[in-house]
Structure 1
């Protein structure tokens, strides 16, 4: 499924839910469905700086060609975990270059999140995006 299709599917779900109370519940449910991050990956090198909550992101390389990245993550906050799940829906199992080319800010705006989450969560979300872009850039530099 292409990024645009993934985003449209999420946007349609958000629109169908109507009010933001329901959308927050949906976010929390998405977070609950995230595959667990193994305990040995809850390490400082996987911790995302700039988040008020504790957030860990880890990438795995999927055999190619082409090489694709899969992301695993966790947070101690339910809504943040849902934001992680949304982010992964857009970037996981994509090539590093596709990840780098994805305008996650536009996705965030398309879903209406820009105006409905706190400034701290928004900043944390963009810190997660930056970390994912760093992991993708490192994979590109490795020539993988």
Structure 2
């Protein structure tokens, strides 16, 4: 895997916060999340193996993490448009970061700033937690 951000420098966590804070209403935020999901590179079918499926997600979510030097390179994909967007938001925060940076990142504060969690269905919220927990658990093992 390449050590670069899957979006290049196009989508960063602070840019996501800034963009979402300018949008009015949940519908506009929802559309923006889907747009970010469209920018997420599609994972090769060969990488979509059973062992990389994230447990606890209603939709299929594949997650592959590789540590290159100190930084984590993360590839992820889903069969659901909104979930792809949520993955993009998570990867903007975690991809290319060290295990220590991942552990210290205030993800709850990040999502609070995005004003998203209250608008997600319980199953989407649980799936999002499962994705984040999978990344954090793997990063934690390397500390």
Q: TM-score, normalised by structure 1?
A: 0.85
In the TM superposition, residue 98 of structure 1 has moved relative to its aligned partner by 0.9
Match of 2:132 in 1: 129
Separation in 1, partners of 2:30, 2:50: 29
Q: Deviations 1:99-129 (Å, cap 9, x if unpaired)?
A: 1222212211121112111111011100000
The 3-state SS of whatever aligns with 2:142 is helix
Match of 1:30 in 2: 36
In the TM superposition, residue 56 of structure 1 has moved relative to its aligned partner by 0.7
Match of 1:68 in 2: 71
Alignment of 1:33-48 (within 5 A): 33-48=39-54
- Alignment length, in residue pairs? 132
Match of 2:100 in 1: 97
The answer to whether residue 112 in structure 2 is matched with residue 109 in structure 1 is yes
In the TM superposition, residue 11 of structure 1 has moved relative to its aligned partner by 1.8
Q: Deviations 1:16-52 (Å, cap 9, x if unpaired)?
A: 1212111111111111111121222211221111111
Aligned match of 1:15 in 15, 21, 25?
Answer: 21
Contact 2:13–2:89 under 8 Å retained in 1: no
Separation in 1, partners of 2:49, 2:141: 19
Match of 2:58 in 1: 52
Separation in 1, partners of 2:16, 2:74: 18
Contact 2:17–2:110 under 8 Å retained in 1: no
Q: TM-score, normalised by structure 2?
A: 0.86
